[in-house]
Structure 1
Amino acid sequence: MLEVYLDPCTVNSRKVLAGLDLLGTQYHFNYVDYFAGAHKSEDYKKLNPHCTVPCATDDHCTITESNAILQYAADLGADDRHYPKNLKKRADVNRWLLWEGSVWFQSCYVYLVEYVVKPLLKTDPDESIIEEQAPRWNQLASILDAQLAKTKWLTGDEVTIADLAVASPMHLHAAQRLPLDKYPNLKRWLVDGIEKLPCWQKTQGAVDKALLPDRATTNGSHEANSQVHATFKYTKNVEKLTELYFYECDAAKDIHEPGDDPHQVAVTDGWHRVKSFSTDTHGFSVHDFKTRYDKWQNDESVRGSFYPEVVEFLRKSTGAKRVLVFDHTIRSKTNEAKKLTQETNTSQRAPVMLVHCDYTSESGPVRVRQLLKDEAEDLLSRRVAFFNVWKPINRVVEERPLAMCDVTSAPQDDFFKLHLRYRDRNGENYVMRYSAQHKWWYFPKMTPDQAIVLKTYESETDGRARFVGHTAFEDPTSLPDAPMRESIEIRTIAFF
């Protein structure tokens, strides 16, 4: 396997990480702390006497140039879309790789040093250096703009490793103050092309954290149109019932299971308008929810000590007269090996990668009757709503965040029943059919002091949101070594 040694925040390291992802190359990541000078250590010098990052090894072969690493990685695979084996097409890619390394990188790097690195080091940029470099940069940008007036990507209709190489020196173009507005084709290619690639988005977090700390320490981007693209597991609405069995039996062998209709969707960062979301309109809302409680692995303690905090939180945030907390689940990647249908220890599970809602119009009232037998009919004569409180625990969420489907974009017809089969009872959830009209929201980098409230059942049929579809998803901007998500999901019933 290819071993790569790099610091994800550097221009050429980011190029290699994005390129390896684009190519689908298997590799092992070795972190070299550039700002701590690890690339100048004696151990690293033995590997790469040039003291540069990135570097790669494959058995006894050592490669010390970023573009050479991408060329080598491309040749490891059979798919040549991103580095064609056709000699003429490959020559076109190679000329841009050489152009980037010989002239383009140096020109863009001046802007990076003056406007990004120096402020990071509490030093003022030297405008005279920028003025001296500007004619050269504009000359080179004009060459790119003219090329991109003729083609979607640098060498044609398919993105190649040359595109990533040439884009990398501009990877912080706004902070670098590069005058892209003068070059519309270049700007289109970079903003609407490169920056929409999942392989590029995955590498953004490390760059922000190291070079733009003010941006990295906030929740999300706070920009109105900040989006990621990810694959969500919808379900086909077929003639036979959609079912899940939570125990082994013959009846479970020939069923239609959920999640058989994956689609690529846009997910919008909602932090820029976080206060505008409401459970009655959109099906979810976001709140501050601070707690000193931290014994998350002790179920009895969670019930005895944390449940009362949730009751008080929901009474204040929803106006409910009474709140019953009846269940909770700790979600973490540690539990990934567990089957969704595992019968035991159901309070510890992996994030659910399925578009669903926890209750249906029938199963909500059934659950009230199960939990509150003597009071049920009286309570159900008035408004009842089920709310899930989803809250990060222990650390900021950096992978597999939660996404919600805006109820204003999802009519009731988009939901249909998933039948849950247990040994002693049957239950129902909703799953969702795909629609291009669905509007998805998420709130990246949520902290343990925040919570999302999701409405999973509403008894009123007066036009307010009744059921919100939601799912965990693989965030393409998560770093390869991002700490696993840990969250708690509290299920409640609110009586009004």
Structure 2
Amino acid sequence: MTTAAYRPTPAHELSSTSQPTLTSSSKSEDVNHQGLPIPRGPVTASLSFYDPPADGSKPHNFVEQQPEGIPQRNFGEAWHDVTINDLRGQESKFTMDNNAFSVVANLPSEEHAFDDDAHIKNVYYPEVEQLLLDNVPGSTRVLLFDHTIRRSSPNASRAPVTRVHIDQTPSSAEQRVRFHLPDEADTLLQGRYRIINVWRPLNGPVMAHPLAVADSATVRDEDLIPVEHRYPDRTGETAAVQYNAGQSWYYWSGMKNEDRLFLKCFDSDETVGQWGRVPHTAFVDPRTPEGAVGRESIEVRALVFG
């Protein structure tokens, strides 16, 4: 991908009146259903960044299973204390083209249990597809290709990921198009295509393990490290993220079940594509009150064309 002349301005350098409004959010109750206070405002928390393999080898991560006696991944963690600012009250400053994330509030859903994959696909997927078509400028077609439910309980199959990462790289994004739409891929890859995750809590307001995102306009290409994502039947690619003091981090305090967070993992449009990727991670908020319920969430991943 060639470097484009366009450079989005980091959100912290913009006035609130200079940004288009995607949605408006009002302050919710400052206690949850347990009567516990919801942490608000900026917080300093420790985030896990990339630490390269000691032997200098290409970083990799095994998914689902790995060879006996081999660690799941060959790279380490570098923990850094980071100031994470609160999106609440300044949501309209952020857009997917400028920052690679955006939010929508107050959306009801006909799906409530989230305990049956077939029902999720039949009921929730159409809602997400329409949400993307309505809120992603230029979008004409959406293909939802998978989802992940994360729960903080000890027996959960997938827990919140406490490592800074990006789900796709340019090469793996192209692979996704070819994998899911092989007969149309050559044509679709000539136009604009994006990979966007739609994230929401299932038991909000979120108290434990909130999701942090970095303003993509403050993330350098040098901060991103391709990592082989090794499945039993194929190899994909994700991106690990090195710490850089210039990165600006945010979370959306007390996210409710009616809130949606868009995370753009890739954008083929070269005028915004270099910044079309958003590092993100769950984090431990040191202000989380004792006894708060663990976070449950769902992320749906989409190919967005147009």
Into which bin does the TM-score normalised by the smaller protein fall?
0.7 to 0.9
Work out which of the two has the higher radius of gyration on C-alpha atoms and give 1 or 2.
1
Give me the identity figure in percent: 32
- TM-score, L = length of structure 1: 0.52
Whole-angstrom CA distance in 2 between matches of 1:349 and 1:405: 23
In the alignment, does 2:176 pair up with 1:367?
yes
Whole-angstrom CA distance in 1 between matches of 2:187 and 2:283: 39
In the alignment, does 2:184 pair up with 1:357?
no
Match of 2:248 among 411, 422, 439: 439
In the alignment, does 2:64 pair up with 1:249?
no
Contact kept, 8 Å, 1:237 with 1:416, in 2: the verdict is no
Contact kept, 8 Å, 1:325 with 1:492, in 2: the verdict is yes
Number of the residue aligned with 1:325: 144
Provide the secondary structure at the position in 1 that maps to 2:289.
Answer: coil
Cα distance change on mapping 1:254 and 1:467 into 2, 3 Å: closer
Higher strand share: 2
In the alignment, does 2:44 pair up with 1:229?
yes
In the alignment, does 2:74 pair up with 1:276?
no
Cα distance change on mapping 1:209 and 1:370 into 2, 3 Å: closer
1:27-47 Cα offsets, whole Å, 9 max, x none, are: xxxxxxxxxxxxxxxxxxxxx
Structure 2 residue ranges without an equivalent (≥5): 1-29
Match of 1:457 among 266, 269, 279: 266
Q: Give the CA deviation at 1:337.
A: 5.3
Whole-angstrom CA distance in 2 between matches of 1:416 and 1:483: 34
Q: Give the CA deviation at 1:409.
A: 1.0
Counterpart of 1:467 in structure 2: which amino acid?
R
Q: Give the CA deviation at 1:254.
A: 9.3
Structure 1 residue ranges without an equivalent (≥5): 1-207, 339-347
Cα distance change on mapping 1:393 and 1:253 into 2, 3 Å: closer
Give the count of matched residue pairs: 269
Number of the residue aligned with 1:380: 189
Contact kept, 8 Å, 1:237 with 1:433, in 2: the verdict is no
Contact kept, 8 Å, 2:48 with 2:80, in 1: the verdict is yes
Match of 2:108 among 274, 290, 294: 290
Whole-angstrom CA distance in 2 between matches of 1:354 and 1:230: 13
Provide the secondary structure at the position in 2 that maps to 1:477.
Answer: coil
In the alignment, does 2:129 pair up with 1:314?
no
Whole-angstrom CA distance in 1 between matches of 2:97 and 2:192: 13
Whole-angstrom CA distance in 2 between matches of 1:274 and 1:253: 40
Counterpart of 1:310 in structure 2: which amino acid?
V
Higher relative contact order (CA 8 A, sep 6+): 2
Contact kept, 8 Å, 1:295 with 1:301, in 2: the verdict is no
- TM-score, L = length of structure 2: 0.83
Matches within 5 A, 1:74-153: none
Whole-angstrom CA distance in 1 between matches of 2:52 and 2:229: 16
Whole-angstrom CA distance in 2 between matches of 1:494 and 1:329: 18
Cα distance change on mapping 1:297 and 1:486 into 2, 3 Å: same
Provide the secondary structure at the position in 1 that maps to 2:90.
Answer: helix
Contact kept, 8 Å, 1:387 with 1:493, in 2: the verdict is yes
Contact kept, 8 Å, 1:245 with 1:252, in 2: the verdict is no
Q: Give the CA deviation at 1:362.
A: 0.5
Q: Give the CA deviation at 1:274.
A: 0.8
Number of the residue aligned with 2:276: 466
Q: Give the CA deviation at 1:244.
A: 1.2
Provide the secondary structure at the position in 1 that maps to 2:51.
Answer: coil
Provide the secondary structure at the position in 2 that maps to 1:280.
Answer: helix
Provide the secondary structure at the position in 1 that maps to 2:99.
Answer: coil
Provide the secondary structure at the position in 2 that maps to 1:445.
Answer: coil
